[in-house]
Amino acid sequence: MQTLYVELGDRRYPIFIGSQLDPEQLLGTYIPAKQVMIVTNDTVAPLYLARYTQALQQLGKTVAHCILPDGEKYKNIEHLNLIFDALLSAGFNRDCTVLALGGGVIGDMAGFAAASFQRGVYFVQVPTTLLSQVDSSVGGKTGINHPLGKNMIGAFKQPQAVLADMAQLSTLPPRELSAGLAEIIKYALLGDVDFLAWLEQHIEQLLAGDEALLAEAVYRSCAHKARIVANDEKEQGERALLNLGHTFGHAIESFLGYGVWLHGEAVATGMVMAADLSYRMGWIDADDLARTKNIIQRAGLPIACPQIPLEQFLEYMAHDKKVLNGQLRLVLLKRLGQAVITRDFDVEQMKHAILANQQGA
């Protein structure tokens, strides 16, 4: 097992990364409350709910659970209310812990509930997908979707601890594993060209589920994110770099309907669009663009999205959280391994990059 820390002063917390992690051994220190609400979904519950319930009961906790339907389309206020219903029905008070057991949707919703219930209770993340292990479980962003934009309603809520268990990835469908690799590739493109070379060397083994290599990829990804979050917790500057590909990707998700494409699939195509625009601006060369597309394709991810009318694509982009004072900011590549947040791009070139990376273009 390896342990990283997100350095936030007296809110410092660990990320445990390994295989066959022991929740009873690791969680005791980080769940001070007696009452624990496990929030999970109907896919994960049959696999892991009993194990975590038993471990917490062995620690002397009073355990209840809330099982939500599985899918991005349920990441809304209606289903968020089911968590509040469960907490209130169980008679839980301000001194309780919400434990998220699942992927990014569960982590985001459980975290938002923990930030809101009685104005804030303890929170622990147990991410069970690769994407959530390297992205949404770390850094404290929580929330739900709105029909006009993804993750538009939420709060910052840092967890007490994160348990990333590689053994749980063995039950992931190949499509979900690929979606997680999109976020891993993102860290390499935005800040670590040596990591990109490592991924190019090992991508097939990662797709095959090699637990040791997955642990290394998760560790390196979380190390990048932990450093950035420690420097810019509330995304006032550097943290926005973590949105490479997301402004384009969120527009794809919003247009198609949440859950039609997985988040990682949309981000993958979004990163291609960002790289394409960076190429058109003369910041990266044709070989860099080809290299970006190649690693994304080798990870089993799409490099072009379905046909989306340009005006609608741009309308969804206009709702992006990086819009500041009416101006859209994009995360683009100065070179592979160095991303920047900029308003300084040619809108017509951006339109060409969008259109050129749609299926049939």
3-state DSSP assignment of residue 332: strand
Closest CA to 51 of 20, 29, 82: 20
Domains and CATH numbers, the chain: 2-171 (3.40.50.1970), 174-356 (1.20.1090.10)
Query: Whole-model pTM?
Result: 0.93
Both tokens of 81, joined, read 């209310």
Active site residues: 119, 141, 183, 225, 235, 239, 243, 246, 250, 263
For position 291, what pLDDT does the model report?
A: 98
Rounded to whole angstroms, the Cα distance separating 328 from 308 reads: 19
Closest CA to 17 of 300, 214, 288, 283: 214
Both tokens of 220, joined, read 């390196």
Sign of the dihedral defined by the CA atoms of residues 280, 286, 291, 296, in that order? positive
Rounded to whole angstroms, the Cα distance separating 15 from 219 reads: 9
CB–CB of 189/181 below 8 Å?
no
Please, what are the averages of pLDDT over each run of 10 residues along the chain (361 residues)? 96 96 93 96 97 97 97 95 98 96 97 97 97 94 89 94 96 96 98 97 97 98 96 90 95 92 96 98 98 98 97 89 73 97 94 96 78
Quickly tell me which residue has 């997955």 as its tokens: 214
For position 237, what pLDDT does the model report?
A: 87
